[in-house]
Amino acid sequence: MIIGTRVRVRVLVLVLVPVRSSLFILVHFCSLFFVLKGNAQQLEVLIDEALTNNPEIQKFELQYKRASEKVNEVNTIPNTEFGVGYFVSEPETRTGAQRFKVSAKQMLPWFGTITSRENYVSSLADAKYEDIVIAKRKLMASVSQSYFNLYANKAKQEVLTENIKLLETYETLALTSVEVGKASAVDVLRLQMRQNEMQQLKDVLQQQFLAEQTNFNNLLNRDNDVTVNVVDSLLIPSEDFDITSENLALHPELLKYDKLYKSIEQSELLNQKESSPMIGFGLDYINVAERPNMDFSDNGKDIVMPMVSVSIPIFNKKYKSQTKQNDLQQQEITAQKQERLNALETLLDKANNERISARISYATQTKNLKQAKDAEDILIKSYETGTIDFNDVLDIQELQLKFQMNQIESIRTYYVQSTIINYLTQQ
């Protein structure tokens, strides 16, 4: 039976504070971590290392920075147009021949268009930020689940080691019984074969541990051969933390849909602004040569002509089509959000039920282990009276091993499902 100290559960909550000036502050991130005793590495430390070094998190952070930088890209007005023309055949006017022309023109978008562009790009950056939050949550869940897998593997190896030693003790008893004619050499061979089977299982578990350790180290973006020290023992707490399904509505996977919906609203506002006229201001300068042998006040006077222009999208159906597309896209986002909410609710309910089942299984296996221990004590007393049956020994040992393995698996399932619940509800 696995004996250990109770694990205290602590919770940090993820709080995302959006700031309208396109800056966002990450106050805290959600993490289910455990205060572990002994020389084992604390899970919260490993999670923090993963969040710092994981390349996927870095990827999403860079994508968010790039999306935020687009605000500076759209905060501009159209290019200023400059033109220079030279009259190959100089037109003669009353004031002289026109030699060349210089012009400048600047179109200006309708009032508020640039601000609408900034708001739209900022809303897209808001949605992209949720990718960081989601990725961090998933990474914390993956690290925790891998950690508990490593714990279960290690605990199973320790159980196998204890049972191999127990069979070695029974083997010694069997050899003694063979010498006095109270047991058969077949009993000794059966005990030895059982030891071989358990040693094989232990060796397989060791290889699986190394594979899971590689996966764990990859999550932390470190060398594959780094040794991961896990807690010596875990027990299922006497009480479960409360599950508040209302918090599911605040899950970042759902908040992202809200952010995308708002970005479409900003897109429509921008569309309305861009469908408005554009006003242009310009200036033409024409160089005029003096007429020879003539003397009047405007002789050779250059021409300066200010201009105002208006660009009106009269025959363009683009903006009406964009409005319809935005409406359809909002409907699509609403449907996607509801679909994902249903999936998350199903996942939460499943995780909760499996955690309850793990608790029930743990309690059952604990009872079975006690009874198996009692049966083992009876067998030992039977040996003292010279009536031990090594077939019963093997049967009891096999049952005991089964109960111990099931108990460890129940513990692993409980904490893995708790990790999923934490991912969904921020508990």
Are 181 and 149 members of one domain? yes
Across the chain, mean pLDDT equals: 85
In 40-80 the beta strands, taken as DSSP E runs, fall at: none
The span from the CA of 178 to the CA of 184, in Å, is 6
Q: Give the residue with greater pLDDT, 232 vs 25.
A: 232
- In which domain, by residue range, is 202 found? 8-76+121-275+318-425
Residue 268: inside a domain: yes
Please tell me the predicted confidence (pLDDT) of residue 110.
Answer: 87
Q: What is the mean pLDDT of residues 195-206?
A: 96
Are 367 and 416 members of one domain? yes
Radius of gyration of the chain (CA): 38
pLDDT digits (tens, 9 = 90+) for 133-151: 999 999 999 999 999 999 9
Please tell me the predicted confidence (pLDDT) of residue 384.
Answer: 65
Are 71 and 82 members of one domain? no
In the structure, what pLDDT confidence band is assigned to residue 41 with cuts at 50, 70 and 90? Answer: low
Examine the fold and report which residue of 260, 289, 311 is the final residue of a domain before the chain moves on: 311
Are 295 and 413 members of one domain? no
Please tell me the predicted confidence (pLDDT) of residue 26.
Answer: 30
Residue 377 clears pLDDT 80, i.e. is over it: yes
Residue 57: inside a domain: yes
Residue 24: inside a domain: yes
Are 289 and 154 members of one domain? no
Are 282 and 263 members of one domain? no
3-state helix vs strand vs coil in the chain, percent to 5: 60, 15, 25
How many domains are there within the chain? Answer: 2
Residue 169: inside a domain: yes
Q: Which of 153-167, 243-257, 290-304 has the highest mean pLDDT?
A: 153-167
Residue 113: inside a domain: no
Please tell me the predicted confidence (pLDDT) of residue 206.
Answer: 97
Residue 391 CB neighbours (<10 A): 11
Residue 114: inside a domain: no
Residue 320 clears pLDDT 70, i.e. is over it: yes
Residue 101: inside a domain: yes
Are 397 and 364 members of one domain? yes
Are 53 and 65 members of one domain? yes
Examine the fold and report which residue of 257, 289, 311 is the final residue of a domain before the chain moves on: 311
Are 304 and 419 members of one domain? no
Least confident of 91-95, 224-228, 367-371: 91-95
The span from the CA of 27 to the CA of 14, in Å, is 7
Are 363 and 325 members of one domain? yes
pLDDT digits (tens, 9 = 90+) for 334-358: 999 999 999 999 999 999 999 999 9
Which residues lie below 8 Å from residue 1, measured CB to CB, with a gap of 6+?
366, 369, 373, 404, 407
Please tell me the predicted confidence (pLDDT) of residue 244.
Answer: 74
Residue 116: inside a domain: no
Are 169 and 179 members of one domain? yes
User: CA angle, corner 259, sides to 257 and 265, nearest 5?
Assistant: 105
The span from the CA of 317 to the CA of 340, in Å, is 35
Are 258 and 340 members of one domain? yes
Q: What is the mean pLDDT of residues 314-331?
A: 91
